[in-house]
Structure 1
Amino acid sequence: MALRLLLDSADPSAWAEWLPTGLFRGVTTNPTLLRRAAQPCNLEHLAELTARALELGAEELHLQAWGADLLGCGRALAQLAPGRIWVKLPITRAGAAAARALIAEGCPVTFTACYEPAQVLLAVALGADYIAPYLGRISDLGRDGHANLTRMQRIVESVRRVDPDGPGDRPDASPPLRLLVASLRSPNDLALLAAEGLDTFTISPDIATALFAVEPTLAAAAQFERDAEDT
């Protein structure tokens, strides 16, 4: 599968800066990111944000359902832009129940808050498009986050190999599950996991900026400009 990058931000000014670059397939948000960006977490405002993201070129917008009625909230979110909204749900029993109904209705789903390799199997079994493991937060628990995510990726690949009738193996099937790596702390996290075969990441604007802040590269570019002026 080809590399996919998504922008992990609920700040429309960050979307305006980064989405036009063509680097990002879309945007991931959640209530925490909305709070940090001083954006209200309600359907009316999310409809405005959705329109703005699509206007800026987002192909996918991942919006997290909340409240006692995850299914109802998920349905309402999906209707903001059918086919362009991925409803995010925690990989809990309540989230799984809502996901089953939404997937049956043709709504794309992204599971979130993944901390254990075995949780990937739940997402595969339910037919989700994505599951988002939290790399940095797993490491914060004293575990080897990179090793855990590599194991998750191997699980996804193994399930594809041993289940010829599984999702993604038939022309009429839904795409196979992707690990949507979240909670990256540095560009090096991205490089290390990509070397292990992971190909889908949601990154903050700060990490996007850091990817271009390579001092030797900037120095070489500045030298090119100086040399051009001297010729």
Structure 2
Amino acid sequence: MEFIIDTVDLEEIKDAVEHMPIVGVTSNPSIVKRTSPENFFDHMRAIRSIIGKERSLHVQVISKDCETIVKEAHRILQEIDDQVYVKVPVSYEGIKAIKLLKAEGIHVTATAVYDLMQAYMALAAGADYIAPYVNRIGNLGSDPMELINELSSRIVMDGYKTKIVAASFKGVQQVRDSFNYGAHAITAPVDVLKTIFKNPSIEKAVDDFNSDWYAMYGEGTGICDL
């Protein structure tokens, strides 16, 4: 089970990796636009510096034809490092690019997945991660959890090492369901993951424990004060 954050905001990333068991960072052009870094590659290198080599960094290409996708992938690896997962949308040209990149031993995250057959194509092409768009699939009237469940079963059945990284979330329930239906990882906005801890019952339980403690040892007397 992997928690990945979908952001390029440096302060958000620092905060998230300090507090939560975050194993990676994903980005796409729309997410980059929200932060609008002056120098894209400097910014990506700054993210790598924050998260280290032990966490994954996923950076998306923008071109639509295979030849340029591959060129962009090479530039991304050259400018950042060779451990980056290149995000490639699973289009007709994209699947060709995934095959070529995997033949070179490059890490690939297959993205913009809306359909199970798209996912199967990416799986057969050797993608390391496959990213179904949970909320967007649901908005189009299909069941994203059915897709995740069937893709997960196929991965086990055929012995693939590919991981499902569910993406596109509006709430924690979608995150929970994705894991429960077989996703190996999720990538979500930091704000979505933070809502896990906003249950008022958590704060009340801590307040009650503290109240009982201070009733015994005096207000403001912590464990380190004993």
Band of TM-score, shorter chain: 0.7 to 0.9
Offset of 1:15 from its aligned partner? 0.7
Query: Could you tell me which residue of structure 1 aligns to residue 60 of structure 2?
Result: 64
Offset of 1:211 from its aligned partner? 1.2
Distance in 2 between residues matched to 1:66 and 1:147, nearest whole Å: 29
Distance in 2 between residues matched to 1:219 and 1:205, nearest whole Å: 24
Query: Could you tell me which residue of structure 2 aligns to residue 49 of structure 1?
Result: 43
Map 1:132-147 onto structure 2 (within 5 A): 132-147=131-146
Cα RMSD, aligned residues only: 1.7
- Once the two structures are overlaid, the 10-residue window that deviates more, 218-227 or 85-94, is 218-227
Query: Could you tell me which residue of structure 1 aligns to residue 212 of structure 2?
Result: 227
1:84 aligned counterpart, secondary structure: coil
The percentage of counterpart residues that share the same residue type is 24
Distance in 1 between residues matched to 2:37 and 2:134, nearest whole Å: 25
Cα distance per residue 1:20-47 (max 9 Å; x no partner)? 235111100000001122335xxxx232
Q: TM-score, normalised by structure 1?
A: 0.85
Offset of 1:212 from its aligned partner? 1.2
By percentage of residues, which structure has more helix? 2
Look up the equivalent residue of 2:182 and give its one-letter code.
G
Mapped contact 1:8–1:203 kept (Cα < 8 A): yes
1:132 aligned counterpart, secondary structure: strand
1:103 aligned counterpart, secondary structure: helix
Query: Could you tell me which residue of structure 2 aligns to residue 88 of structure 1?
Result: 87
**Unaligned 5+ residue runs, structure 2?**
217-226
Q: TM-score, normalised by structure 2?
A: 0.86
Query: Could you tell me which residue of structure 1 aligns to residue 220 of structure 2?
Result: none
1:82 aligned counterpart, secondary structure: coil
**Unaligned 5+ residue runs, structure 1?**
161-166, 168-175
Offset of 1:87 from its aligned partner? 0.3
Mapped contact 1:120–1:155 kept (Cα < 8 A): no
1:142 aligned counterpart, secondary structure: coil
Distance in 2 between residues matched to 1:195 and 1:103, nearest whole Å: 29
Distance in 2 between residues matched to 1:97 and 1:90, nearest whole Å: 11
1:79 aligned counterpart, secondary structure: helix
